Structure 1
Amino acid sequence: MPNSLRSFRKYEEDMSDSMRTVILGGSTGIGKAIASALSHRGGDVFSLGRSNGIDVASAASIEGWFLANGEVDHVIFTAGSQAPAGMVTGLDIDAAKAAFDVKFWGAVRVAQTAAKYIRSGGTLTLTSGFLARKTVPGTFVKTTMNAALEAGVKILARELAPVRVNIVSPGLTDTEAYSGMAASDREQMFASAAKSLPVGRVASPNDVAKGYLFVIDCDSVTGAVIDIDGGALVS
């Protein structure tokens, strides 16, 4: 092996061993899959959420963690997948505000704080969802919440540079979010969705996790929306 290539690989290994990644919402679903994938790369992976006392609806909670733990390389936000469904005419406005406070404003709070602690060349990756650009009646809250995040990420990419800011937009994914459904109903829902998708299957959390790893690894990606939806937006 040429010395230059050997030196570069040694540099990559050293960087991996010292890499520090924070995942907000990392205890379940997609966040958990990202944490698992990153754990094989070395370095420190911090999975944060209400289960360990971090509430993204509280700026003080977020700031307190970063003050105690210092600089990081990558921050990933996957929290706040729940939102009230139903037609706008019957919408529970308080429930809608609560959903926005976690996913949209929670992401903004994390961006505000993390910007002071992410090392140069690091990344901030948010999470939206295919409903941001898919017209489905009864999904007003999820659609507007995700669309707002996708619009905002391009502004963040300019304002927070050289930190790279991107957003991953998953489609229907087989996670614990559907564990409250009867097993037969859940299987039927996934089977029906799979038939409508060009890829012929519903994504697993591990499938979606690869999108977050991509934006960490590719130094030329910023301000991008990474769709991992099985082709839902073209079907």
Structure 2
Amino acid sequence: MADVLKGKTVVVFGASNGIGAAVAELALAEGASVMAISRSGVGPKGSKGVAVDVADLRALTCALEAAGEIDHLVYTVGARLGSPALSTLTDDVLPLAFETKLFSAVHAIRLALPHLSPNASITLTSGQVSRKYGVGSLVKGTVNAAVDAAGRHLAKELAPRRVNVVSPGVVDTSLWGEAGSEGRAATIARVSSALPVKRVGAPAELAQAYLFAMTNGFVTGALIDVDGGGLL
């Protein structure tokens, strides 16, 4: 399967850490030319790191123009929101959640349209809380459900370009705290014990789902769950 992306251009949003960085690293390993977009401009070694705030549409336009023809676009950006219950929800949380994970993704796709190859793929990122309900998951659940729906609508509108959504479960990233911290270790242990596979995911495992979405030409409008059985 080596070099399945050889000669292809992959643009990854949110590539400075976590799942986005793992996707960029895997795309590089598979022979792609990778533009890694993030606020910091830091990307995996071998990628072209570009510092862009996804809310800055002028800067985003310039970055996408510089990418040339884009074969695959991957969006993994999301806001760190915690898990506020409705009673503690502040006025800024809902706009931030939707602006970062949904609206900016749609703007990025719109601005990329002139540069997307005729058979390009687009892969968005939601999360299992779109269909796993609980206290404190109102904001994350609704924005992720909106991303799920947007992916399917775009798959129809942008055909024959393909649009898919990867829906991760809990993945061992800095979202849960600093590496080695007691809080992160406790959260990971608690979640792991409740999963059928008895562990949380690794970013590299999620990256394989994005690679599948990029390279399987018969997959579009799909919601790809990679959650260790978390929805069961």
Q: Same fold (TM over 0.5)?
A: yes
Correspondent of 1:194 among 192, 195, 203: 192
Q: CA RMSD in A?
A: 1.8
| Partner of residue 102 from structure 1, selected from 92, 100, 103 | 100
Moved more, 66-75 or 203-212: 66-75
- Find 1:227's aligned residue among 206, 211, 225: 225
2:160 is matched with which residue?
162
Question: How big is each residue's C-alpha offset from its partner over 1:51-79, in whole Å with a ceiling of 9 and x where there is no partner?
Answer: 12211112222211122332110000001
Aligned in 2, Cα 1:89/1:179: closer, same or farther, shift over 3 Å? closer
Q: Distance in 2 between the 1:56 and 1:232 partners?
A: 30
Aligned partners of 1:89 and 1:204: how far apart in 2? 33
Tell me the distance in 1 between the aligned counterparts of 2:173 and 2:213.
22
Identify which of 66, 70, 74 aligns with 2:72.
74
Cα offset for 1:180? Answer: 4.2
Find the residue that maps to 2:6 and give its secondary structure. helix
1:84 Cα deviation after fit: 4.4
* In 2, Cα distance between equivalents of 1:115 and 1:150: 20
CA–CA separation in structure 2 for the residues paired with 1:96 and 1:28: 24
Question: Pick from 41, 61, 64: which aligns with 1:63?
Answer: 61
Identify the residue that residue 140 of structure 1 maps to in structure 2.
138
Q: CA, structure 1 residues 136+182, in 2 after alignment: closer, same or farther (shift >3 Å)?
A: farther
Question: Match for residue 9 of structure 2?
Answer: 20
Aligned pairs (5 A) from 1:107-122: 107-122=105-120
Aligned partners of 1:20 and 1:73 also within 8 Å:
yes
Structure 2 unaligned segments of length 5 or more: list them.
42-50
- 8 Å CA contact retained: 2:176, 2:187: no
Relative to structure 1, the CA distance from residue 106 to residue 71 in structure 2 (aligned partners, 3 Å threshold; closer, same or farther) is same
Contact 1:84 1:141 in 2 (8 A): no
Post-superposition offset of 1:181: 8.1
Give the TM-score of the pair, scaled to structure 1. Answer: 0.89
* Contact kept? 1:194, 1:200, Cα under 8 Å: yes
Query: Structure 1 or 2: larger helix share?
Result: 1
Name 2:91's counterpart in structure 1: 93
The separation in 2 between residues aligned to 1:106 and 1:126, in whole angstroms, is 11
Superposition TM-score, scaled by structure 2 size? 0.90
Q: CA deviation at 1:89?
A: 2.2
Q: CA–CA distance in 1 between the matches of 2:8 and 2:14? A: 19
Q: Does the 8 A contact of 2:35 with 2:67 survive in 1?
A: no
Q: Secondary structure at the match of 2:201?
A: coil
User: What CA distance in whole angstroms lies between the structure 2 residues aligned with 1:165 and 1:43?
Assistant: 19
Looking at structure 1, the residues matched to 107 and 222 of structure 2 have their Cα atoms a distance apart, in angstroms, of 20
Distance in 2, matches of 1:181 and 1:76, equals 25
> Aligned residue for 1:3?
none
Q: Please give the secondary structure, in 2, of the residue aligned with 1:16.
A: coil
Runs of 4 or more, structure 1, over 3 Å off, are: none
1:6 alignment partner in structure 2? none
From the superposition, tell whether residues 84 and 192 of structure 1 become closer, same or farther in structure 2 (CA, over 3 Å). closer
Is 1:36 matched with 2:30? no
Aligned equivalents of 2:38, 2:133: Cα separation in 1: 31
- Corresponding residue of 2:44: none
Identical-residue share of aligned pairs (%): 37
Q: Give per-residue Cα distances to partners, 1:52-111, cap 9 Å, x unaligned.
A: 221111222221112233211000000114224211122112122122111111111112
Task: Tell me, yes or no, if the aligned pair for 1:22 and 1:46 is still in contact at 8 Å.
Answer: yes
Q: Residues 166-213 of structure 1: CA distance to partner in whole angstroms, max 9, x if unpaired?
A: 000000100122234872222121112111111111001011111101
Contact 2:126 2:167 in 1 (8 A): yes
